């Protein structure tokens, strides 16, 4: 009935949080959306019997165009970056095709690769000092025989930035298929390759309003691409890619983006303070260009042990003595460090 490789794909089970557990595992913003965003979404609740109309999406596309500096034809809206990533897989790969990404990268890359029956090639990534480095030559070489290349920039879970804009251009010239550059944490770096989309039809840049804009629960993401590529992506999405309240919240947020800059400033300052505290507690936190920190410890089963202390952090594929911690509120970060200090 179902394709045989579906049973090999990991089952996606949402975590249930106990009362009082600090949620530092999903890279959400710890700050609630501002009141004007909440009010804009709330006004649409009484219209929940109606699908969002063309006027709403026109306003959203205009807001995104103003924010990104790219014309509407270059923009595609989806239900979070995941939705657009899934569309990229649906529109490009066949079973047995090769998909290339950093060995350590956003977990959904491997999930979608498995669901599509493709061959996933993980390019080596290793620590060097307080940062991580990617084998860039290997990535570019592998891309010559790949149907789809995925690069989170900055990288999740390491927090490092892989490939300069010049090297991304080289990758685009050498790649056989589509190249997706995932800029989910763009607001934390200001570094983007979106300016390359007009010259490269094989480039898709993914972004989200889940991080700096504090809208993870609203599920709004967008892609930037050459007009012809963008049009193909739109055909792979449903006619109403997200809800009325979500569209309204996104419009309000993008028309008043100053609060996102404030969120980033607070998160970056708190991130560096968290790194210092973890280091003083005996852990090794790596450098980060995001709202999370990758941490190496000498404690086996550290993720489960921290949960029993009331702090939820994310397991990572480096080993069970590692974890990824979202930068939370000051009191949540203190709680993480205090909990870690109790472990043996």
Supply the CATH number for residue 165's domain.
3.40.640.10
Tokens 């490269």 locate to 200
CB 143 within 8 A of CB 149: yes
Q: Are residues 105 and 242 in the same domain?
A: yes
pTM to 2 decimals? 0.95
- Looking at residue 163, its pLDDT comes to 97
Question: Does residue 302 share a domain with residue 267?
Answer: yes
**How many domains are contained in the chain?**
2
Do both 134 and 275 map to the same domain?
A: no
Residue 313: what pLDDT? 98
Q: 207: Cβ–Cβ under 8 A, 6 or more apart, which residues?
A: 81, 183, 184, 186, 221, 222, 223, 224
Angle in degrees, 0-180, between the axes of helices 80-92 and 107-115, rounded to the nearest 10: 40
Please give the pLDDT value at position 14.
76
Shared domain for 103 and 196, answered yes or no, is yes
Q: How many Cα atoms sit within 13 Å of 317 on the Cβ side?
A: 14
- 148 and 272 assigned to the same domain: no
Whole domain around residue 119: which residue ranges?
Answer: 35-255
Provide the pLDDT for residue 67: 98
Please check whether residues 44 and 87 belong to one and the same domain. Answer: yes
Closest CA relative to residue 150, chosen from 197, 199, 112: 112
d(CA 82, CA 153): 15
Q: What is the CATH number of the domain that holds 296?
A: 3.90.1150.10
Question: Token pair of 252, please?
Answer: 């309000």
Same domain, yes or no, for 161 and 64? yes
Report strand pairing: 203-208 vs 221-225.
Answer: antiparallel
| 49/155 same-domain check | yes
Please answer whether residues 156 and 27 qualify as being in contact, where contact means their C-beta atoms are separated by less than 8 angstroms: yes
By residue count, the chain amounts to 344
**Same-domain status, 272 and 226:** no
Q: Is the dihedral of CA 194, 172, 89, 100 positive or negative?
A: negative
Contact assessment for residue 332 and residue 22, using Cβ atoms and an 8 Å cutoff? yes
Q: Work out the angle between the directed axes of helices 80-92 and 227-235 (0-180°, nearest 10).
A: 100
Q: What is the pLDDT of residue 170?
A: 97
Both 295 and 230 in one domain: the answer is: no
Domain end call among 225, 255, 285 = 255
Helix (H) or strand (E) holding 134: strand 131-134
Q: How far apart are CA 210 and CA 204, in angstroms?
A: 19
Same domain? 125 vs 270 = no
Q: Three-class SS string for 48-73? A: CCCCCCHHHHHHHHHHHHHHHCCCHH
- Selection from 187, 256, 252 nearest residue 218 by Cα: 252
Residues 203 and 65 in one domain: yes
Q: How far apart are CA 311 and CA 96, in angstroms?
A: 40
Domain endpoint, select from 236, 255, 274: 255
Q: Last residue of some domain: 232, 255, 278?
A: 255
pLDDT along the chain (344 residues), means of 10: 78 79 96 98 96 95 98 97 96 97 96 95 97 98 97 98 97 97 98 97 98 98 98 95 97 97 98 98 98 98 96 97 98 98 90
Give yes or no for a contact between 249 and 41, defined as CB atoms under 8 angstroms apart: yes
């Amino acid at each position: 009935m179902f394709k045989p490789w579906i049973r090999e794909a990991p089952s996606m089970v949402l975590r249930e949080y106990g009362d009082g557990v600090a949620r530092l595992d999903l890279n959400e913003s710890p700050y609630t959306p501002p009141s004007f965003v909440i009010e804009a979404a709330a006004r649409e609740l009484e219209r929940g019997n109606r699908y969002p109309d063309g006027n709403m999406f026109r306003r959203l596309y205009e807001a995104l165009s103003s924010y990104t500096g790219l014309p509407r034809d270059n923009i595609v809206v989806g239900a979070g970056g995941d939705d657009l990533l899934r569309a990229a897989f649906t529109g490009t790969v066949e079973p047995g095709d090769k998909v290339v990404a950093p060995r350590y990268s956003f977990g959904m890359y491997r999930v979608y690769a498995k669901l599509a029956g493709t061959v996933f090639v993980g390019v080596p990534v290793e620590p060097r000092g307080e940062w991580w480095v990617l084998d860039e030559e290997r990535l570019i070489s592998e891309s010559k025989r790949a149907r789809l290349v995925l690069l989170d920039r900055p990288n999740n879970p390491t927090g490092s930035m892989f490939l300069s804009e010049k090297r991304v251009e080289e990758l685009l010239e050498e790649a056989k298929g589509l190249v997706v550059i995932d800029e989910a944490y763009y607001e934390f770096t200001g570094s983007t390759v979106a300016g390359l989309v007009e010259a490269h039809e094989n480039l898709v840049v993914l972004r989200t309003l889940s991080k700096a804009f504090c809208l993870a629960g609203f599920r709004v993401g967008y892609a930037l691409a050459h007009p012809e590529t963008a049009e193909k992506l739109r055909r792979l999405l449903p006619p109403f890619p997200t809800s009325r309240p979500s569209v309204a919240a996104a419009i309000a947020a993008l028309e008043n983006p100053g609060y996102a800059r404030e969120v980033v400033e607070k998160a970056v300052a708190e991130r560096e303070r968290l790194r210092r505290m973890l280091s003083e507690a005996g852990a090794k936190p790596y450098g980060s260009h995001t709202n999370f920190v990758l941490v190496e410890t000498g404690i086996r089963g550290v993720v489960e042990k921290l949960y029993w202390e009331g702090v939820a952090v994310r397991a990572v594929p480096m080993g069970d003595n590692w974890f990824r911690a979202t930068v939370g509120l000051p009191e949540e970060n203190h709680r993480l460090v205090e909990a870690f200090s109790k472990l043996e």
